[in-house]
Structure 1
Amino acid sequence: EQAYLDLGDTPPVDYRDVVLNSLIERALIVQAANAQGISVTAEAVDARLVEMRAGADGEANFAAWLEANQYTEEEFRDALAMEIITAQMLDQVTADVPYAVEQVHARYIQVDDGALAASLREQIVGGSDFALLAQQYSLDQVAAQAGGDLGYFARWSLQVPEVAEAAFALQPDEISDVIAVTNADGSQTFYLVQVIEKEAQRPLTANMRYDLLKQTFEAWLTTQWEQASITRFVEING
């Protein structure tokens, strides 16, 4: 926002909204950290600064980086302190996130015609090959090339929760009923799912665990917003 002020312009409303919400979010994290007795020492910030100066390959390069990013050293120290507190809160909030969870290996077909989905299900139940029909009809061309194979996934890791819910309710080799999902624009997409394998405790991939850590922290942060009493003294909608 300071960059806009230096140019004599007023920041766009949506930009101010983002900045204000970011400041509130930081305050909520600090408040929660204080409640848990979590704090950052000057020594910890100093140590992080030493690392960054070393990584910048010299004081001159580091000073140039600060200037390019419109930081004074004191402002950057504050930013580092916030980064350290956030990392500590992240560790605490996500301490119970598992490394292995129940996962399903399944394939699916996605179409935009309910009658076609019903017909495909009849064909599969009658003995037709699910993977072949997925290759021929599924709208998801990437998965279709692999016969609709989604690989292993956890309950929360699919973009369409209804598909995940159906898959976890099935046993290996079972076929779901037609799953109708209403999209944001009011249209409908139809899915069929076939479970290949299920594992009660399968290790999460690095990407899956990262997503779970992120979801867990974001859910915690949402709770902080909901429980906080926030008064805005800056009008952000006009």
Structure 2
Amino acid sequence: MCLCIPMNNVDGEIVLKVTIKSYRSLLFLMIFIAAACSSNADSADSVAAPAVDNNQAQAVDDSANDPANTTNTIPVNADGVQIVARVNGVEITRNDLDRAIARSSFEAEASDARTLEASVLDTLIEQELIVQAAAAQQITVDDATVNEEYQFYVENAGDTDSFQQWLAQNEYSDAEFREGLRMQLITHQMRDLVIGSIGDEVQQVHARHILVNTQDEANAIMERLRNGEDFAALAATLSNDVTTREQGGDLGWFAQEELLEPLLASTAFSLEPGQIAGPVATRLGFHIIQTLEVGLRPLTPERQANLAQLRFENWLQQQLQNATIERFI
């Protein structure tokens, strides 16, 4: 099973537990406003992160999981403008892409123009999917609401002249900026609908695991466990997860969405306390997992925000998988 969210890799450590990160789709809508009005995307300190020893980890090719269908032919529409992508039949034009790139380049961390172009196109595709889903749910934002939001940013800029100057500097017409605000508000409403309510307590699992490179290694460990060997001792000597093996493979408590590997998380939640399952194949390798405890446990505000984000990102990933997406660049 594929990851719903790409793995983070920091200083050679592959993160297994999820941390809070910015929405690319929401960021695309906000970066222009951020430049003028000092808005900030959500962030938080990272959770304790299991990591794989680089000397033992296996490389994985993700290219086959790309839901987009790319071709080398760039079509044009009736106005003679190049079409860079279609999302369920809706066109994204070269003009759309070029203006989005121009507006976002000052925030970009891409190493080259091609990488930036691909990243911005990904964002446009995601935003179109959000808009389409919102339309299906009859989510709309009226002009009065857009005007109210618009006035907030004008006031933050100081006065109308200052704000109009900023719009011109960032290649925005007044109408384009208002439409961007409309899309932002629609996205927020769709996000709220998808996330629903997250209470102060959620069902969580306390589990531990052993990560190895091959199925044969995992099967051998399962046999040793059946013969009575200690799980923690085997994890300490055999697991590739360098951040948990000294603790006997202990992953701590987590909600289901907080583990980057959905299959591993669902396996942990399916077990009774004390039960062991494996091998569980993921992009990291092969796991032996044992559920130690299960219970309804409180969430910190930071973890509530994290779960909310993960629900939305998982939903967006599902939209990408189910959509008909044609990319021409």
* TM-score past 0.5 threshold: yes
Asked if the contact 2:126–2:320 (Cα under 8 Å) also holds between the matched residues in 1, the reply is no
- Against the structure 1 CA distance between its residues 108 and 19, is the aligned structure 2 distance closer, same or farther, given a 3 Å change threshold? closer
Task: State the TM-score, normalized to the length of structure 1.
Answer: 0.69
Query: Does residue 86 of structure 1 match 2:187?
Result: yes
TM-superposed deviation, 1:16: 9.2
AA aligned to 1:150 is L
Greater C-alpha radius of gyration: 1
Residue by residue over 1:54-97, the C-alpha shift from the partner in whole angstroms, topping out at 9 and shown as x without a partner, is: 333555653454234321222101110121122223323433x5
Q: Which structure 1 segments of 5+ residues have no match?
A: none
- Against the structure 1 CA distance between its residues 213 and 21, is the aligned structure 2 distance closer, same or farther, given a 3 Å change threshold? closer
- Against the structure 1 CA distance between its residues 4 and 87, is the aligned structure 2 distance closer, same or farther, given a 3 Å change threshold? closer
For 1:55 and 1:111, the matched residues in 2 are separated by: 54
Partner residue in 1 for 2:328: 237
Asked if the contact 1:105–1:150 (Cα under 8 Å) also holds between the matched residues in 2, the reply is yes
- Against the structure 1 CA distance between its residues 139 and 223, is the aligned structure 2 distance closer, same or farther, given a 3 Å change threshold? closer
Query: Does residue 39 of structure 1 match 2:140?
Result: yes
For 2:118 and 2:142, the matched residues in 1 are separated by: 35
Partner residue in 2 for 1:49: 150
Bigger fraction of residues in helix:
1
Equivalent of 2:281 in 181, 186, 206: 181
Equivalent of 2:234 in 109, 121, 133: 133
Partner residue in 2 for 1:193: 289
Task: State the TM-score, normalized to the length of structure 2.
Answer: 0.53
- Against the structure 1 CA distance between its residues 108 and 57, is the aligned structure 2 distance closer, same or farther, given a 3 Å change threshold? farther
Equivalent of 1:106 in 207, 210, 216: 207
For 1:195 and 1:89, the matched residues in 2 are separated by: 35
Percent identity among equivalent residues?
30
Where do 1:1-238 residues align within 5 Å?
Answer: 1-2=94-95, 4=98, 18=122, 21=125, 24-25=128-129, 27-29=131-133, 31-33=135-137, 36=138, 38-59=139-160, 62-95=163-196, 97-99=197-199, 100-176=201-277, 178-181=278-281, 183=283, 189-199=285-295, 201-204=296-299, 205-206=303-304, 207-216=306-315, 219=318, 221=319, 225=323, 236-237=327-328
Aligned CA-pair RMSD: 3.8
AA aligned to 2:289 is V
- Against the structure 1 CA distance between its residues 48 and 20, is the aligned structure 2 distance closer, same or farther, given a 3 Å change threshold? closer
Counterpart secondary structure, 2:256:
coil
For 1:144 and 1:111, the matched residues in 2 are separated by: 11
Asked if the contact 1:28–1:224 (Cα under 8 Å) also holds between the matched residues in 2, the reply is no
TM-superposed deviation, 1:189: 2.5
For 1:107 and 1:181, the matched residues in 2 are separated by: 16
- Against the structure 1 CA distance between its residues 15 and 86, is the aligned structure 2 distance closer, same or farther, given a 3 Å change threshold? closer
If asked which structure has higher relative contact order (CA below 8 Å, sep 6+), I would say 2
